[in-house]
Structure 1
């Protein structure tokens, strides 16, 4: 497999401005070169706490021409706190494998003004092009941008009732009326009586897809994944919401700081209001148990994951040795596959034990 190389050129004055304040969101003009093709782009830092790291992550928008590989925007993630550089990718691929909508991703090499910036993960933007590539109907997409996107009437930030039920979300695409559907969804998922819940929630949510997503979060153990690190897509044909995972580097046995996370840290039932209410319904509880049992037998296994992990690790190793930010950590990089494999073994066994007494 070939790893592409992108050369980015930013005017020195613009680069100085970019480096002067990591919290500036205003994009700056630049040139992007891939092979023999050149593109005029806007570039800005992306993420929140990751902006503080030495190796920055970037959001790139294409303007002339307007698309690159059928994408108008791409995200270039440094994966700086993941010593393996692959947790985000294997997570997003895992979600796709279990039947959940998930962004495509692949590793690339980056240089800025001739300076090697090392290995990055290119992430597909969840937007109208994401839908077109999958032959999906157009519909609204909302990004969960903070912990207010917790499927609750209460804010976990100030522990008060939310002034707006769509707090925590930013609309990426859709009409000005689409937030009304999101507000109605959040209101009804919280206020519908138990005896009416199955009938009402099925008019707002693709429940089977949601439970597959839940199983994916639980297996990969993304602690933030229940109230953050996702997007909502409202299918224009079915009018049902689906959840799309996002930013899954703190998974497979490591947390957001890159430290070890024990295999039993995240419970099988997840952590948000919507999940709790769904699992209170016997039909949905049984459905979740069957979905999770199938994944634990087929995809979340050593046999299934070892080739994926080893192929990526072998592909990236020569480039890690040239990456100015992480080449001194090659020993840690080399130890990561075994840590991931041990996590899968332990997590799989833990979830099987919990599942045995779940129904």
Structure 2
């Protein structure tokens, strides 16, 4: 496991601790092997900022990019007793053909003190697009639960702005206008008009593949949060990518067990509801999900990935001062995840029959 060392003025670290909600980066140095980089450092996330083991957002300042990235995320994975659900999920999406941030576990030290095992994640931004040889295009983050593709917020009140819940990561204000148009198409057209026009603004195949991924991994927040929209400048259509998938594979975001049948096969947001109302789109979704359930979301397929992840973190568990996980705990969690996959797979195959 790669060792990451951060060196920071204790006064600046104190400053972050006094205001955990600040988004203002403070200067620090990151050492990886024999290489040193000037960085900006700040805490990231929402619930995790209140925990003892916090997550970090890092921007590279000198040099401006490292390995093709300008920024990275170091996730604490504090509520995940396997430390691996996020990576397992993102790798799963990558496997089924959905754009997904790459990730790897690292051992983090700050000013010489071990802070434990972290998951380094790519930032979903223009630099990721360049690394993947994808056309540049606007990237918009779904930053809260109002990002539900609806005219109404989750409290069933009319939104004051159609793009509530969204934040531009790469692009400008006109890109929000395009998103507004997308939401209007989703909510105001007749069924026939919607079926004709939606393929012009949304990559249907990739959206339904993403939907199948969220449904399989059972991310409760994934339908109205924990995603980003990327508008491919060559096709003009939106694609969607997952983000923050630690509350998956049988547990919620707090690490508590979630029944295998908790999330319906159709998910829940306005866009999905409209798509699955169309017999053609519904049949396409059935085909996509059926293939994934046969080839990708199976105990046999995921067993190797789980073993690799657990074997990777196991030798370093004792170095993490914030967790109480040992090899026996990991063994139990492996069986928990495999049991979830088996039950969820069976449940979804049964639901596929009803979906026809």
Task: Give the 3 Å change call, closer, same or farther, for CA 67–17 of structure 1 in structure 2.
Answer: same
Write out aligned runs for 1:187-206 (5 A): 187-206=184-203
Which residue matches 1:254? 251
Report the CA distance between 1:329 and its aligned residue: 5.4
Given that 1:66 and 1:72 are in contact with CA atoms closer than 8 Å, whether structure 2 keeps it comes out as yes
| Structure 1 residue 282 corresponds to structure 2 residue 279 | yes
Q: What are the ranges of 5 or more consecutive residues in structure 1 without an aligned counterpart?
A: none
Distance of 1:351 and 1:204 partners within structure 2: 29
* Residue 162 of structure 2 corresponds to residue 165 of structure 1: yes
Q: Which of the numbers 114, 123, 129 marks the counterpart of 2:112?
A: 114
Distance in 2, Cα, partners of 1:335 & 1:325? 20
SS of the residue corresponding to residue 357 of structure 1 reads helix
Q: Is the 8 A contact 1:151 1:274 kept in 2?
A: yes
Deviation for aligned residue 1:161: 1.1
In the TM superposition, what is the alpha-carbon distance from 1:68 to its structure 2 partner? 1.6
| Structure 1 residue 159 displacement after superposition | 3.0
Which residue of structure 2 aligns with residue 341 of structure 1? 338
Gaps of 5+ in 2: none
| 2:292 maps to 1:295 | yes
Query: Secondary structure of 2:208's match?
Result: helix
Q: Is 2:142 the partner of 1:176?
A: no
Q: Displacement of 1:67 after TM fit?
A: 1.2
SS in 1 for 2:200: coil
Deviation, structure 1 residue 328: 5.1
Structure 1 counterpart SS, 2:222: helix
Assess if the C-alpha contact under 8 Å between 2:81 and 2:325 holds in 1: no
CA contact under 8 A between 2:68 and 2:127: conserved in structure 1? yes
Counterpart-to-counterpart distance in 1, 2:233 and 2:51: 39
The residue correspondences of 1:316-355 to structure 2 (distance < 5 A) are 316-327=313-324, 331-355=328-352
TM-score for both structures, normalised by structure 2? 0.98
Aligned counterpart, 1:101: 99
Alignment of 1:264-283 (within 5 A): 264-283=261-280
Q: Secondary structure at the match of 1:54?
A: coil
* Structure 2 partner of 1:37: 35
Alignment pair present for 1:209 and 2:206 = yes
Residue by residue over 1:183-236, the C-alpha shift from the partner in whole angstroms, topping out at 9 and shown as x without a partner, is: 000111111101111111111100110000000000000000000000000001
- 1:141 aligns with 139
User: Deviation at 1:272?
Assistant: 0.3
Say if 1:321 and 1:330, in contact at 8 Å, map to a contact too. Answer: no
Give the C-alpha shift of residue 330 in structure 1. 5.1
2:53 to 52, 55, 71: 55
Over 3 Å counting, the alpha-carbon distance change for 1:251 and 1:328 in structure 2 is closer
- Cα offset, 1:25, TM superposition: 1.5
Number of aligned residue pairs: 356
Deviates more, 1:297-306 or 1:166-175: 166-175
Following superposition, the deviation at residue 175 of structure 1 comes to 3.0
Distance across 1 between alignment mates of 2:311 and 2:352: 35
